[in-house]
Amino acid sequence: MTIEQVAVETGIAVPTLYKWRSTRENGPASLRIGRNVRYRRDDVAAWIDEQVAVVSYKTIDAARAGNSAAIAVLERHGVAVA
């Protein structure tokens, strides 16, 4: 996938993806083929899945700490917080 395709699929701006790539700060794994930056579709999908898991765990932790907004999000999705 091109960086533009990844931007469309993830909703992340192209400059942000370039920054993450240069700093290795975040973002899906990428590779260079000649002068072109490319992403494997499977790597992008795996990275998206990781982000969903991180957000979910943060939301659960916040709900357990009594954050009412986090509790409301989890209740909307049918997740019980113990």
Please write down the HEC assignment for all residues of the chain. CCHHHHHHHHCCCHHHHHHHHHHCCCCCCCEEECCEEECCHHHHHHHHHHHHHHHHHHHHHHHHCCCHHHHHHHHHCCCCCC
Predicted model pTM: 0.65
pLDDT, tens digit, for every residue of 22-41? 888 789 999 999 999 999 99
* Residue 42 confidence (pLDDT): 95
- The backbone torsions φ and ψ at residue 24, rounded to the nearest 5 degrees and listed phi first, read 55, 35
Helix axis angle, 3-10 to 14-23, nearest 10°: 110
